[in-house]
Chains A and B, each alone.
Chain A
Amino acid sequence: MKLHRYITNILAGLALAATFVSCKKDYGNLNSPTVESFLANASASELNNLVSGTESGMRFNLALYLDDVGTIGREVYRFSASEPRYVSDLLGASNAVLSNSNFYITNPWASRYRVVKNCNLLQDAATHSTLISTAQRNGYIGFARTIKAYQLLLNLNLTDSNGIRIVVNDPDKLGGFVSYDNALTAITGILDSAKTDLGNASIAFSLSPGFNGFSDAAGLLQFNRALAARVAIYAKQWSAALTDLGGSFFDLNKDFNLGVYHVFGNGSGDQLNPMFIPQLSSGEVRVAHPSFATDIQPSDDRISKATLRPPASLDGLNSNRDVWVYTSSTAPAAIIRNEELILIYAEANIQTNQLATAVSALNVIRQGHHLPAYGGPVTQGSLITELLYERRYSLYYEGHRWIDMRRYGLLGQLPIDRPGDDVWSEFPLPVSEQP
């Protein structure tokens, strides 16, 4: 049968051709390093890249976070011609509610956990690296833990009683959600282990100018304790807060703006300050809530944080002041600074009934802003009211008022601008976290 021969021919031909294509190709990742490459004995420079990536990543969706907290806390309005949900969902216009699938919760939440993941990778990579000293390893791990704790805290600020996940090392086996109180305890725990790490550390990495004065082991330790003090007042651990302040850069006599910052720049791969919108813009604007100007005390120089503009309005909301906290596209944004620490000091003293100490701390703030010394009743209640005023204006659009009012159960006092608007107390967990 001739056919047989042809089949043999065909097979022979194929075998010949097969050799032409037999080598298997696997091109690897042509575009970027992979997790595996970091876990296989990372060099110091690879670890340093993770440190900078972590610092850089903290800035992602920062404007959205501040708009979330600032809008619900009735500090600002974000008017956008193309995004109605800033003024509908966040303010609870008529029937609008906070959705678990919308950008205002999913984006900042994911960005914070992305940094947490980077911190965990940094921690693992440093642990596996044999190319660094033990002290250097402690430096990397202490930094990673401190930043991780801070990022977890920001997410907890959004979801409040809905809680957060703490253990997120293994994407396939994520730890469960923990309640608000337990989350604060866990964050404190992470900050405390970082404190131990940093106590025996040498810092082999560079940080941005945002960490100027705090980029060595001692400075990072002060930064770590400053964050711990903030967590302590959230947890109502007043004496712990005072202890933490002792280890931080808290100083009644130093510049309010002393602290650690996010910095921005227009270098390659860097970011501009996303909170910056030029004054007198139209279309995309961020304006102060009208109560900012009506509630402020005469001569308070913090009025300069919202400058006059022709009225802007959207969807029944109006304002004639631009938010002017970040005054250029490369202006830094505070992570934590001395002014907040002084206010933490005042608050902890009020709560521990050291009222005279508290008043003098509050007066440091007031005098710093051209206000007369506090003249109201020296009672815990009045001083808390005074404290909340100072926090409102000192930390305006830095992500505090909504959380402060919530801590004191005062969300009901926030102004309602349109009939049917709501003041939300927390964000739902993002849809991706739903079981």
Chain B
Amino acid sequence: MRKFIFFIQFLLPAMFIPAALSAQKAITGTVIDPSGRGIPAATILINHSSQGTSTDNDGKFKLTVPPGAELTISSLGFLTKTIRVGNDVNDLTIRLEQDVARLDEIVVTGLSTSIKRRNLANAVATVSATELNGTAPAQTLDGALNGKVPGAYINANTGAPGGGTSVKLRGVTSVYGNTQPLYVVDGVFVDNTATSGGLNAVTNALANGSITSNQDNPSSRIADINAEDIENVEILKGASAAAIYGSKAAAGVVIITTKRGRPGRTRIVVSQDVGFIKARKLLGVRQFNAQRAASLSSDSLTGVHLASEFQSAQAAGKIYDYEKEVFGNTGFARNTLLSVSGGNERTGFYFSAGQKDESGIVRNTGYRNSSLRLNVDHRINDNIKLSLSSNFINSSADRGLTGNDNAGVSTGIALSSTPGFAELHADQFGNYPNNPFAASNPLQTIALMQNNESVNRFINGLAFDATLQKNDRSQTRLIARGGFDYYDLQTNALFPANLQFQAVNKGTSIQGSTSNLNMNALFSLVNTFTPSDKVSLTASAGLTQETGDYNNVLNAATQVIAGQSNINQAGALTATQFRSRFQNTGYFVQEEATLIDAIALTGGIRFDRSSNNGDAGKFYAYPKAGLSWNLTRSGIVNDAGFFDNLKVRAAYGQANNVPAYGSKFTSLVISNIAGLPGSLIDIQEGQPGIKPERQTEFETGVDFSFLKGAVSIEATYYDKNVYDFLMLSNVPSSSGFSTKWVNAGNLRNRGVEIGLNARPIANRLITWNTSVNFWLNRSLVTRLTIPPTPQGSFGYVLGTFQIEQGKSATQIIGLGGPGGSIAKWGDAEPKFQLNTYNEISFNNKLSLRFLIHVKAGGENVNLTNLENDFGGTSADYDKVTNKLNLPDAIYRITQIGVSAQEFVQNSGYVRLREAGLYYTFNRLPVHGITALKIGVSLNNFVTITKYKSYDPEVSNFGTGFSSGVDVDPYPATKRADLHLSLEF
């Protein structure tokens, strides 16, 4: 979209230029920054034509121009400049002024329209390719966004390979509806469903006998997208910006634009990263002695036995640190990418092929992603342009078995009750002993089990842009865009019969197969009417449709033949299938007006219906409006004074969140006995009248820059209200139902986002760009028509979320209030977050980049330590720091049933998320290589936190509402990489 405007700029009058122009001449030029250094990859376009080029690494370019040509030169971070080429000039030097506020950046504001940031009415966050992936690349895209989006609360669920991250934009926008933003990649709505592989069949984490639960730790499907292909990411954080996306936009929209070819020389880049991955932190294990070993049992005879077991283990030197053996391994990572891009004035292309392969800190876990991308833009004639974006991904994640369980089988739970004097190692024949201290032997489990997710995925987008009419005052375009996202996901969870915990089931194989097809299409007409150079009106109208078709088959076989995983090689089989389909249809009209390039007005409305709503035919209307007023440009404030640029803005919009598929039906599930097929009423009561939740957001702010554009500040306040939010409300279970979808109430999020961008140092030697962002959010349940409802944790005893009128939506409450009452012990919402991203470059060759992220406050429910206390293995078991003078672990156990305060813990942190040092050689003796870049980077290497578990970022329940519950997760990791990149 960004480039689109450039094309418009030269397309519009192109019709009126005679086809043949005489006396073209070749010029050369250099584009430099204010300190005189060349700007690489700046775009140079000849106005009124479709020709242009871009600069090389030294900022130089060559171009053939007609006499008297006007050139528009642009580069991100600099103000766009237009110059006229004099007749006698053959070599140009063009100096661009800095634009730390990115005022000239083009931001997508409609489904088919965009606007310069200087006229924007919303605070739209942008993450550039360098910020996203150029400092210390994370394993997957979802992780790469972390800490980089003001207004977002991003939280990794675990350290398990393959990603899995919760992204909440401007607070929780839904409780049981979708809390995650919509991801749009090159116009294609991509699916981000987390599909369970059925681990609940062995972990019984949700003790209801079902195969799946929300504690199965699946990855998010957005992790499939290769971050290295991304040009930039724009984040529409709330309804005021995202309204035009309609049905799926209530939790915000993440618009991902991938790289495309530019006219000019063909650029080939080969890059190779190698690195290692370690656990960020281990908790340590309890140091046993005979007396402590004996105290593991309250039975005196057993105690004597345990003490002697300890003593003989000690005498044999066989005291082990199992935590270190399991989680203390080093994973190796490699990542290779080849990209080829280029084009001419008619056709541009970007091709990439990449593969990453990483092993995890737990043996037999890891992640592999192979990706192919081809983006092609072709201009059929001056009026019609076609763009194709095509991506194939093959990814595979071995995620291990971690997290909550009620069967003693997950790695952390088994370790929690296994003391270091137990012998778990295999004998010389490779047979593992049974673990007498737990239901499973974690070394055996890790060695023999599999938990793999593998995906084949196609994402294809096509855009068609035709200029139907144009004259000097008006231009009308037809924009049609659409695409599909198809994937096939295979999950394979295999637990062979010789595992300790398979004594009853004699081998379990859970094979899942999921296919998902999302399609979306947009048709719109856009008219830009410019009656004078003071007024510009853009009207757009169109319709959109999105469909989805998801089909998940999960087969859980038990009594599996030794060495086999096929579900027919088994004595017993339970099959489940879940399908869902939806179709959302929307119509929209939008009008944007720009007056004297200083006042921008936007108004629009969208009408939506969805097959998931109770009334599938009913249209719901979602309006939006925005105003930005640039006070310096309109002359109200003198731009020669303190402010170079001063803008006030306000925007309002509405969006919705459709009910989950099937929420209108009261169904009967299959429940068989002795070969007789049975229908049993589902525990979820249907709600035939279910409505979408409606979000309204008002935001206002002021943006200004001073010191000649060297410092810019963007301050935003928002007030976001969700009406009729959907809740899976608990109903009296004597009704036969446990839950029912209801439009249960209203909730509000208010917050502040303040961003500062500055270039404190800019001289020929050193440039330092910095950005500092501060943001906070407060939520409040303003209305609730049902009783206070605990959400997704483990009850008042251990601390739970609870939706309650007049309280924060993310409060954590539990036992321990005065007189045995329930008290509030925390809130998942951070008090505030702060980040700073810095890029310091020396002599344009050496670049130091780092990102520091501060999350102040916010609580987790931490049960990991408690599990270790129960098992008698916590590292601080025997310390005495509590007021009762008991061993700390005993003290914590006595708190169960007394107070949940002990388990609701502050999870704030200061984290050096990313740091990277890169050096670019661009005068190489080797012919053909134009640049060589080498670098080292550290990801998550330094974290300062008081939180007492593996990592403050954790979520046993995945990406839903209740993030931050900590039950023996796959430990968070840190990584270091070496980067090498060659450009030809």
Contacts and interface: CB of A to CB of B under 8 A. Distances in A.
Given A109-B733, A265-B674, A272-B504, A81 B871 contact: yes
B796 interface: yes
B965 interface: no
Contact of A82 (B408, B582, B685, B796): B408
B676 A33 contact: no
Name, among B583, B665, B732, the residue most crowded by chain A CB atoms within 10 Å (CB to CB). Answer: B732
Contacts of A30: 579-581
Nearest to A10: B525
Contact of A171 (B668, B685, B898): B685
Contact of A56 (B297, B523, B680): B680
Interface in A260-280: 263, 265-272, 274, 276-278
A257 interface: no
B665 A81 contact: no
B172 to A, nearest CB: 22
A313 B296 CA distance: 8
Interface stretch (B327-335, B434-442, B691-699, B918-926): B434-442
Nearest to B616: A26
B299 interface: yes
Interface in A30-62: 30-36, 38, 46, 48-57, 59-60
Contacts of B566: none
Nearest to A155: B734
B671 A311 contact: no
B674 A38 contact: no
B674 A266 contact: no
Given A17-B542, A26-B611, A99 B797 contact: yes
B735 interface: yes
B787 interface: yes
A209 B574 CA distance: 21
Contact of B870 (A17, A81, A103, A121): A81
Interface in B728-746: 730-738, 740
A284 B525 CA distance: 65
A311 B297 contact: yes
A317 interface: yes
Contact of B897 (A59, A89, A276, A432): A89
A316 B543 contact: no
Contacts of B408: 80-82, 283-284
Nearest to A274: B209
A82 B681 contact: no
A113 B735 contact: yes
A283 B440 contact: yes
A310 B672 contact: no
Contact of B896 (A33, A38, A84): A84
A367 interface: no
Interface in A107-139: 107, 109-110, 113-118, 120-121
Given A56-B671, A81-B439, A84-B896, A430 B545 contact: no
Nearest to A37: B668
A83 interface: yes
A95 B898 contact: yes
A5 to B, nearest CB: 9
A54 B577 contact: no
Interface string B491-503: 0000000000101
B682 interface: yes
A6 B680 contact: no
Contacts of B414: 81, 283
A328 B981 CA distance: 62
A253 interface: no
A416 interface: no
A6 B545 contact: no
A364 to B, nearest CB: 31
A346 interface: no
Contacts of B579: 30-31
Contacts of B407: 82, 284
Interface residues of B, number: 107
Given A82-B406, A171-B731, A283-B439, A13 B478 contact: yes
Contacts of A278: 503-504
A434 interface: yes
B736 A117 contact: yes
A88 interface: yes
Contact of A121 (B675, B681, B896): B681
Q: Is the interface of B mostly helix, strand, loop or mixed?
A: mixed
Interface string B658-684: 000010011111111111111111110
Interface string B571-590: 11111011111110101000
Interface in B546-592: 558-559, 571-575, 577-583, 585, 587
A94 B884 CA distance: 15
Given A53-B678, A269-B574, A433-B733, A14 B611 contact: no
Nearest to A64: B207
A413 interface: no
A243 interface: no
Contact of B578 (A31, A120, A320): A31
Interface residues of A, number: 110
B882 interface: no
A9 interface: yes
A329 interface: yes
A244 to B, nearest CB: 26
A101 interface: yes
Given A17-B542, A267-B672, A317-B298, A168 B525 contact: no
A209 B677 CA distance: 14
Name, among A3, A21, A54, A433, the residue most crowded by chain B CB atoms within 10 Å (CB to CB). Answer: A21
Contacts of A110: 683, 733, 738
Interface string B455-468: 00000000000001
A282 interface: yes
Contacts of A433: 732-734
B369 interface: no
Contact of A10 (B437, B527, B609, B730): B527
Given A113-B736, A432-B731, A88 B673 contact: no
Nearest to B551: A30
Interface in B197-215: 207-209
Nearest to A205: B676
Contact of B504 (A116, A283, A329): A329
Contacts of B435: 282-283
A267 B572 contact: yes
B638 to A, nearest CB: 36
B289 interface: no
A209 B674 CA distance: 7
Contact of A34 (B416, B572, B668, B673): B668
Contacts of A50: 668, 678-679
Given A96-B896, A284-B408, A3 B529 contact: yes
B28 interface: no
B302 A14 contact: no
B131 interface: no
B419 to A, nearest CB: 13
Interface in A198-214: 206-210
Contacts of B676: 48, 52, 55, 206-208
B301 interface: yes
A339 B682 CA distance: 35
Contacts of A114: 680-681, 683, 733, 736-737
Contact of A269 (B437, B672, B730): B672
A174 B673 contact: no
Given A13-B478, A434-B787, 16 more contacts: A2-B473, A21-B585, A30-B580, A38-B679, A50-B668, A81-B439, A82-B405, A95-B894, A110-B738, A113-B733, A117-B737, A118-B679, A120-B736, A210-B673, A315-B870, A431-B790
7 contacts: A2-B474, A14-B543, A50-B679, A117-B681, A268-B672, A283-B408, A283-B437
Q: What 10 A-B pairs have minimum CB-CB distances, sorted nearest first?
A: A117-B736, A283-B439, A266-B572, A52-B678, A96-B897, A53-B678, A269-B672, A283-B408, A53-B680, A110-B733
